[in-house]
Amino acid sequence: MDHILMNTLRVNLQGRAYDILVGPDLLRRTGELIRGLGIGRRLGLVTHPALAETHGYAPLVVSSLRESGHEVRVVTVPPGEESKSLDQAACLCRELVRVGLDRGSALLALGGGVIGDLTGFVAATLFRGIAFLNLPTTLLAQVDSSVGGKTGVNLPEGKNLVGTFYQPRLVVADVLTLRTLPAREFRSGLAEVVKHAMIADAELFRTLEEDADQILARDPSALQAIIGRNCAIKAKVVEADEHEAGVRAVLNFGHTVGHAVEAAFGYGTVTHGEAVAYGMLVATSLSVRRGLCPAADAKRLEALLRRFELLPTASPEPELLETYIIRDKKVRDGVLQFVLTLGIGSVTLAPVSDRKDLREALHGVQA
């Protein structure tokens, strides 16, 4: 196997270690890449219609798998955040049973974060758990949701409130799939790239500032480099805290407010990246107010988000956002656990018991 054009990153979890493969034109090698994983012959490929029909990614994967001797059942679900629901999970389970999957089968998720989260959740629960492989086709999924084993679905009351930790057997990130992403969806993924730089890698942040033009032009080499670095950052955090009992919470930088923005607007109205970008601005504003973060770093963050066209053009009323924020999974005994920044490349976990600070930060970013 030619590894020259492919980055291989190992997520070292006891008994559940797996590789993340990053590179160009990997989907047509899927059958080759899954050899040795010990999965059954009958596979379920979960995707959405555009990837099966318009872009041709699903036929590419299916052809590769069949050449390797696998039977493949393709099941499509509607695109969009609305598909991350208990109703859709139940429909998917029933369809997979109907087409003949069993406990020896494996599920492959081909798509973005919605497909990955939904398929992972179904894999974790169908037949009490079957093998799961992730083939992310969006930047957001490649740098974030495909790594770490978080699966789940939304409720009307909030995002990702029902789910489990269930690690994939393999992640294959083909950077060429990013060429067909709509511009807004591509930029959405850049928010998570910026987030990883903010929490753990000041050098990556400088790279994003310096190479913004190449990144926005979707240069494959530039994308492979930043995706590999992002996966390495997330893998390190996941290895230290698989079930988010402690340090893994740093990955939620910008997400406490971001999830509230998504819920307040209605899922799908704003992109996840736009919501997280707004959340990072609020968290950084709160950090500056507490004297934790230099104001100059806050300005650099704002400038980079502006360069990537992620700054919000509108935001919900702060009072409405606060209603959703206090429902967040990170609230403990009525105290909100927030991820604040100490400056670019470093964060800390801090309780926010004084709602006045939060309200001022929300009003400040809205202004």
* Average pLDDT, integer, range 118-145: 97
pLDDT tens-digit readout, 37-76? 999 999 999 999 999 888 899 999 999 999 999 999 999 9
- Please confirm, yes or no, whether 70 is among the known catalytic residues: no
Amino acid identity of 250? Answer: V
How many angstroms separate the CA atoms of 84 and 128, rounded?
Answer: 20
- Please confirm, yes or no, whether 299 is among the known catalytic residues: no
What pLDDT is recorded for position 2? 45
What global pTM score does this model have?
Answer: 0.90
What pLDDT is recorded for position 54? 83
- Please confirm, yes or no, whether 134 is among the known catalytic residues: no
Q: One of 48, 70, 195, 255 is an active-site residue; which one? A: 255
pLDDT tens-digit readout, 66-111? 999 999 999 999 988 899 999 999 999 999 999 999 999 999 999 9
How many angstroms separate the CA atoms of 132 and 123, rounded?
Answer: 6
* pLDDT bucket at 14, cuts 50 / 70 / 90: confident
- For 25-157, list the strands marked E by DSSP: 42-47, 71-76, 106-111, 131-136, 150-155
- Please confirm, yes or no, whether 252 is among the known catalytic residues: yes
Q: Using an 8 Å Cβ cutoff, are 148 and 126 in contact?
A: no
Give the contacts of 190 (CB within 8 A, at least 6 positions apart): 139, 215, 273, 308, 310
Q: One of 48, 84, 159, 248 is an active-site residue; which one? A: 248
- Please confirm, yes or no, whether 128 is among the known catalytic residues: yes
Q: Which part of the chain has CATH 1.20.1090.10?
A: 183-366
Q: Which part of the chain has CATH 3.40.50.1970?
A: 7-180
Q: One of 81, 192, 262, 274 is an active-site residue; which one? A: 192
- Please confirm, yes or no, whether 71 is among the known catalytic residues: no
- Please confirm, yes or no, whether 363 is among the known catalytic residues: no
Q: One of 128, 157, 332, 356 is an active-site residue; which one? A: 128
Q: One of 29, 229, 234, 300 is an active-site residue; which one? A: 234
- Please confirm, yes or no, whether 3 is among the known catalytic residues: no
For residue 149, give the nearest of 112, 119, 192 by alpha carbon. Answer: 119
Token pair 């950077």: residue: 175
Q: What is the dotted CATH code of the domain comprising 7-180?
A: 3.40.50.1970
- Please confirm, yes or no, whether 196 is among the known catalytic residues: no
* pLDDT bucket at 330, cuts 50 / 70 / 90: low
Q: What is the dotted CATH code of the domain comprising 183-366?
A: 1.20.1090.10
Q: What is the dihedral of CA 176, 182, 184, 186, to 10 degrees?
A: -10
The rounded mean pLDDT for the chain is 92
